[in-house]
Homo-oligomer: A and B are copies of this chain.
Amino acid sequence: MPPLERNKRDVAQRILDHATKLFARHGFVGASLRDIAKAVGIRKPSLLYHFPSKDDLRRGVLEQMLAHWNHAVPRILRAATAGPEQFDAIATEALTFFREDPDRARLLLRELLDRPEEVAPLVAMRVQPWSKIVCDYIRKGQEQGRVRADVDPEAYVAQVINLVLCGFATHISISRVLAQAPEEHDPSERLLREMLRVAKSSLFETGPAPAPARARPAIAGGA
């Protein structure tokens, strides 16, 4: 690839990155092309040379994020077909995607709020292969008695998505609501641990809790 073309891709990439951050922080209408261009270090018409319109830029940002997700899915699916202790593996892989950059959660949430008709099908396409695996896993676990019988697989997946999306998007605010010291990028470990615990313990009959008094036969799926 000639250096000139590489440079072009490089600038486009930097535009996408800064646009992602500013769209996530201030919303699509709240982030102006001037601000984005300034963050990149160029002028607005130069930005419009790479992305012919603001809406093109928005779609580019969304596509890049979904592409990143696509890139993460194989790792998640591999975790999903590994061993019997699949839950933690799946959860860890899926959370990594948002831990890498919490702006992804903010951006996605904003897009779902602003343009549900357009964004929902796009997201659905990317989420379904993964959610299908999880649902199958849940149903099989239910047949084997490992997973609670009252779990509604698809609806459960939706709740976990809510949990993660909102958790990463608003953790700073939520931390303050609980009068905790907010951390810079990640939700505090405490909130993240509880997020996982809620997701897990609502799935299996018993969680990894050290049941204080009464001993109970260990069931596959708990730690």
A residues sitting closer than 8 Å to B (CB atoms) are 26-27, 29-30, 106, 109-110, 112-114, 116, 119-121, 123-124, 127-128, 131, 145, 148-152, 154-159, 161-163, 165-167, 169-170, 172-180, 190-191, 193-195, 197-199, 201-202, 205-213
Question: What's the number of copies of this chain in the assembled complex?
Answer: 2
| B-side contacts of A211, CB under 8 Å | 149, 205
Chain B residues, CB < 8 A from A149: 209-212
The reply to whether A178 and B157 form a contact with Cβ atoms under 8 Å apart is yes
Given contacts A27-B114, A113-B170, A149-B209, 9 further A-B contacts (CB under 8 A): A123-B177, A128-B179, A131-B177, A150-B208, A157-B178, A158-B167, A159-B191, A161-B177, A162-B174
| Inter-chain contacts of A116 with B (CB < 8 A) | 170, 172-173, 176
Q: Which of B124, B152, B156 contacts A179 (CB 8 A)?
A: B124
Given that A154-B178, A177-B127 are known contacts, is A159 also in contact with B198, CB under 8 Å in the complex? yes
Interface pair B190/A197, CB less than 8 Å apart:
no
A120 touches B208 (CB 8 A): no
Contact of A209 among B114, B123, B148, B212 (CB under 8 A): B148
Cβ contacts under 8 Å, A201 to chain B:
148, 150, 201-202
Residues of chain B lying within 8 A (CB to CB) of residue A213 = 145
Rounded to whole angstroms, the CA-CA distance of A54 and B206 in the bound complex is 51
Query: What residue of chain B has the Cβ atom nearest to residue A198's Cβ?
Result: B202
Q: Which 4 pairs from chain A and chain B are nearest by CB?
A: A155-B194, A166-B166, A162-B166, A150-B209
Q: Are A212 and B145 in contact (CB under 8 A)?
A: yes
Contact indicator A163/B169 (Cβ below 8 Å): no
Residues from chain B with Cβ under 8 Å of A175 in the complex: 158
Measured CA separation A173–B191 after assembly (Å): 25
Q: List the B side residues contacting A190 at CB < 8 Å.
A: 152, 155
Within 8 Å by CB of A119, from B173, B179, B180, B199, lies: B173
30 A-B pairs whose Cβ atoms sit less than 8 Å apart in the complex: A26-B114, A27-B113, A109-B113, A110-B113, A112-B170, A113-B169, A116-B172, A116-B173, A116-B176, A120-B172, A120-B173, A121-B176, A124-B176, A124-B177, A145-B213, A151-B194, A151-B197, A154-B178, A156-B194, A158-B167, A158-B178, A159-B191, A159-B195, A162-B195, A165-B166, A165-B170, A166-B166, A198-B198, A198-B202, A202-B202
